[in-house]
Structure 1
Amino acid sequence: MTQSLERILERNVALMAQCSVAYQSWQHEPILDFATDERIGIELGWQATPTKSLFLSFKNGEYALLLTHRDARLDSKKTKALMGKRPSIATDEEMIAQLGCVPGAVCPFGMPSSIPLIVDEVLFSFEELMYTPGPPEYTFAFEANCLSRLLSALPNPVLILSTS
């Protein structure tokens, strides 16, 4: 059963409050591709580091979500070493069914608790991070030093993907 985009947004707002994380929020035209993201980022003067969420599937029917820098690519070898199985990018249909998100706007927080969240350790090195909190017409930004606090409040298994 998928959750609504509004519910995902509410869960993200609640997570920020629960963890006492200050964040900025913008409402804008839907962002579903890099070109729109770049254009709106320039228009709104975004300074935070953009993230992306890749929904991964495994042959055994399990899933995981990789939270990484927007320009990073999936490192299948490192992900396999971490998860013990080879990942592939899930189909849009799988992602919609499991998460309720819109393709191009996958939210890393508020997923079903059975889905592990893999976090690229490079994200901890930035000053501020940006992500889509569900609906593609919203963007949130928060200080990267709060990422650990947010991750510890999630019911999901959290794994850190080493960049070395």
Structure 2
Amino acid sequence: MIVNLEEFLRSHSIYFELYNHDPIYTNEDAVIMKAEKGFAGTETKALFLKGKSEQYYSFVTFTTKRTDFKRLKQVVGEKVAVVKQEEMETITGQKAGAVTPLGYENTIPIIVDEELFEQEKLVFAPARPDQTMVILAKDLKKIIDLLGNELFSYNEEG
């Protein structure tokens, strides 16, 4: 189950911008839509992962970064892989290309690329391919804490 982020952020008086647009499923489409709508911020991607223990995770990083799965294993303590599309749709109701990094039930830990905290604004899909949300990077940890998800910090060093 996924929380309605718009309602959640509004109820906690957390700044956000929400843009409605044609559905986006690729990074190329996102760049075009960003230019059309004029929103600013660092583009992020979210990967819905599953560990050997059957634990699910949400991993948020830059759209331009390759994921180091060996490093992720060190961070969470188990080998993880991207969940197959059918399983992700069953568990979260989301389609590939529009995966939200936030808003999951609190049993799903969130893994955040530490460099995202250094950005000004973060851009992501709020579980819908026809919307884009922008939040202040400084609010990311607060949002995760309020949602009650365990937070793991990811960096490329060991």
Q: State whether TM-score is above 0.5.
A: yes
In structure 2, the residue matched to 1:70 is: 63
In 2: Cα distance, 1:81 partner to 1:19 partner:
33
- Report if aligned partners of 1:19, 1:149 keep a CA contact under 8 Å in 2: no
In structure 2, the residue matched to 1:32 is: 25
Gaps of 5+ in 2: none
In 1: Cα distance, 2:148 partner to 2:15 partner:
21
- Name which of 37, 45, 60 aligns with 2:38: 45
- Name which of 98, 104, 112 aligns with 2:97: 104
Amino acid of the structure 2 residue aligned with 1:26? Y
Instruction: Report the 3-state secondary structure (helix = DSSP H, G, I; strand = E; otherwise coil) of the residue aligned with 1:81.
Output: helix
In 1: Cα distance, 2:84 partner to 2:9 partner:
29
TM-score normalised over the length of structure 2: 0.91
Instruction: Report the 3-state secondary structure (helix = DSSP H, G, I; strand = E; otherwise coil) of the residue aligned with 1:95.
Output: helix
In 1: Cα distance, 2:114 partner to 2:8 partner:
21
- Name which of 117, 126, 129 aligns with 1:124: 117
In 2: Cα distance, 1:115 partner to 1:86 partner:
16
TM-score normalised over the length of structure 1: 0.88
In 2: Cα distance, 1:105 partner to 1:87 partner:
20
In structure 2, the residue matched to 1:137 is: 130
In 2: Cα distance, 1:48 partner to 1:87 partner:
28
- Report if aligned partners of 1:122, 1:163 keep a CA contact under 8 Å in 2: no
In 2: Cα distance, 1:15 partner to 1:160 partner:
23
In 1: Cα distance, 2:123 partner to 2:53 partner:
32
Gaps of 5+ in 1: none
In structure 2, the residue matched to 1:16 is: 9
Kindly, what percent of the aligned residue pairs are identical?
A: 30
Runs of 4+ displaced beyond 6 Å:
none
State how many pairs are aligned.
157
Shift of 1:73: 1.7
